Amino acid sequence: MTEMRTLGEGSWVPQACTLPTVEQPLRLAEFDDLFASAVVGMERVDRLRVRLELRPAPTVDGRAADLVTRETGCCSFFTFTLTATGGQLALDVAVPEGHVDVLDALAARAGLQEGA
């Protein structure tokens, strides 16, 4: 089980995150904004992976790519896969076994923001 920092309700920042503490609320806000403005569906593919269906727009894919690239710089355990095919855009988020609780919290947060 991963220890997570308390930054507010639904926080999924693990203790292992190397992003400076002062920047973590800003990063969470960026994810919240992406979840609220771009997520149109969510599927728990399996225990270690969540698929977020995003609004298929060039501004969304660029924003998502930028955000997840920066996120892997501080939380390298995440694997993000952004897929555009057939007019659809999806972001798969995967974690290793030791970080399932972080994925659970991220999925819960995305679900809270979906359609907001």
Q: What is the pLDDT of residues 9-34, one digit of tens each?
A: 445 666 767 787 788 889 889 999 99
Task: Classify residue 10: in a domain, yes or no.
Answer: no
* pLDDT per position as a tens digit, 63-93: 999 999 999 998 899 999 999 999 999 999 9
Q: Mean pLDDT throughout 21-50?
A: 93
- Assigned token pair, 14: 């693990």
What's the pLDDT at 24?
Answer: 83
CATH number at residue 78: 3.30.1360
* pLDDT per position as a tens digit, 51-66: 999 999 989 999 999 9
- Structural domain of 50: 21-110
pLDDT over threshold 50, residue 6:
no
Distances (CA, A) of 24 to 40, 44, 61, 100: 25, 25, 22, 20
